[in-house]
């Protein structure tokens, strides 16, 4: 009887005492039991390390506690890299300390790998989204039901050249990472020493997981499993939630251009045959003009709008891409159109309407 393959599970944890137990327990509850769980304490100042130690005492052969020198806080990217440096499994899985897995997660994904060719390097899945620290309060996940599942299954079916284009096909103003962070299972052969997570300060912001999936997509193909195999927890302290709350479309545009620069510099030698990415690099200016279509967009998330105070930053980006005049014209048109639409819905609009119109009657009521 063959020995089941070893899976290395990497869990970075920073001040996660409220959720780390659930994360580690979900790994220990897997139906695939041959794993090593590498939990990296990223300089926590609460009881996170003590909770990890308790799990290590319960299961010393499979659970290991790692930390940075002098207990420093180095960030998620460096912590994941530390886990990768100590990983010995044939496959590597990543799990954040505030997320959790369903018990068949590894079993289902390993079975998918067994049915796939060696060119497939990542299998990921849908998620169940829960809020705060209550995983029983569930809601549906956009993009993982019905026709969207079929779309994702087709885009990430392991067909040559599909993964990179699929990861980049969303408009520049939509903050979306098709690969939920708690779901990827990756062949470690596609993670040599040269490929590691890249975070701040090289990246302007914490897009390290998205950047890693982009880099991997230049090396291998992905397969999407429609089944929901992980819990993805949404809470105010989460990077994605706080980023969407504080960032406008201009912030996201600048961060996207920075991500593309880093990807080109770090993986440029692998991109010559990837026409989709090269076409995107050639059309960076188009990203800027696409963003101007969201000037301004009332009643939308902040990340889909451009406040007037952010227009100078947008124009600076336009200068770097040599499309200043086009951008000025587009922004001016959008704000003029928005202003006129507001006037039409304002009661003062009745002053400018001809006598007897409904607008005049409404204004005089």
- How does pLDDT run along the chain (365 residues), one tens digit per residue? 577 999 999 999 999 999 999 999 999 999 999 999 999 999 999 999 999 999 999 999 999 999 999 999 999 999 999 999 999 999 999 999 999 999 999 999 999 999 998 999 999 998 888 876 555 554 555 445 556 676 777 778 777 666 776 776 555 555 567 788 899 999 999 999 889 999 988 988 878 998 899 888 888 889 999 889 999 887 656 666 566 666 778 888 888 888 888 887 776 655 555 565 666 566 678 788 888 877 766 655 666 778 888 889 999 999 988 899 999 998 888 888 877 877 776 644 454 444 444 443 343 33
pLDDT digits (tens, 9 = 90+) for 162-202: 677 677 655 555 556 778 889 999 999 999 988 999 998 89
SS (H, E, C) the chain: CCCCCCEEEEEEECCCCCCHHHHHHHHHCCCCCCEEEEEEECCCCCCHHHHHHHHHHHCCCCEEEEECHHHCCCCHHHHHHHHHHHCCCCEEEECCCCCEECCCHHHHHHHHHHHCCCCEEEEEEEEEEEECCEEEEEECCCCCCHHHHHHHHHHCECCCCHHHHHHHCCCCCCCCCCCCCCCCEEEHHHCCCCCCCCCCCCCCCCCHHHHHHHHHHCCCEEEEEEEEEEEEEECCCCHHHHHHHHCCHHHHHHHHHHHHHHHHHHHHHHCCCCHHHHHHHHCHHHHHHHHHCCCCCCCCCHHHCCCHHHHHHHHHHHHHCCCHHHHHHHHHHHHHHHHHHHHHHCHHHHHHCCCCCHHHHHHHC
Q: What is the pLDDT of residue 60?
A: 95
CA distances from 305 to 54, 57, 106, 244, 329 (A): 47, 50, 39, 11, 18
Q: What is the pLDDT of residue 298?
A: 60
Q: What is the pLDDT of residue 250?
A: 85
Instruction: For CATH 3.90.550.10, list the domain ranges present in the chain.
Output: 7-246
Q: What is the pLDDT of residue 265?
A: 78
CATH fold for the domain made of 7-246:
Spore Coat Polysaccharide Biosynthesis Protein SpsA; Chain A (3.90.550)
The answer to whether the predicted template modeling score (pTM) of the entire model surpasses 0.85 is: no
């Amino acid at each position: 009887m063959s020995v089941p393959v070893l899976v290395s599970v990497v869990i970075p944890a920073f001040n996660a005492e409220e959720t780390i137990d659930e994360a580690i327990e979900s790994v220990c509850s897997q139906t695939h039991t041959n794993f090593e769980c590498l939990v990296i304490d990223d300089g926590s100042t609460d009881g996170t390390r003590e909770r990890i130690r308790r799990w290590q005492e319960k299961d010393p052969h499979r659970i290991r506690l790692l930390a940075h020198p002098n207990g420093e806080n180095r960030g998620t990217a460096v912590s994941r890299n530390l886990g990768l440096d100590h990983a010995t499994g044939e496959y590597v899985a990543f799990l954040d300390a505030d997320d959790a897995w369903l018990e068949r997660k590894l079993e289902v994904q390993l079975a998918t790998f067994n049915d796939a060719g060696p060119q497939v390097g990542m299998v990921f899945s849908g998620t169940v989204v829960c809020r705060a620290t209550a995983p029983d309060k569930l809601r549906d996940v956009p993009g993982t039901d019905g026709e969207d599942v079929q779309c994702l299954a087709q885009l990430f079916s392991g067909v040559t050249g599909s993964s990179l284009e699929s990861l980049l096909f969303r408009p520049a103003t939509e903050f979306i990472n098709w690969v939920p962070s708690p779901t990827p299972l990756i062949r470690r052969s596609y993670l040599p020493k040269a490929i590691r997570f890249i975070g701040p300060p090289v990246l302007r912001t914490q897009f390290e997981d998205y950047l890693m999936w982009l880099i991997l997509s230049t090396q291998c193909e992905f397969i999407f499993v429609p089944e929901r195999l992980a819990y993805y927890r949404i809470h105010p302290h989460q990077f994605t939630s706080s980023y969407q709350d504080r960032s406008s479309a201009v912030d996201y545009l600048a961060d996207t251009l920075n991500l593309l620069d880093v990807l080109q510099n770090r993986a440029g030698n692998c991109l010559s045959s990837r026409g989709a990415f090269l076409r995107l690099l050639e059309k960076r200016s188009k990203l800027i003009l696409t963003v101007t279509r969201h000037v301004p967009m009332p009643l939308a998330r902040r990340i889909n709008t451009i406040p007037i105070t952010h227009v100078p930053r947008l124009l600076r980006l336009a200068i770097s891409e040599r499309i200043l005049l086009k951008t000025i014209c587009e922004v001016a048109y959008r704000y003029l159109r928005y202003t006129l639409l507001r006037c039409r819905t304002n009661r003062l609009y009745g002053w400018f309407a001809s006598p007897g119109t409904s607008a005049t009657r409404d204004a005089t009521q």
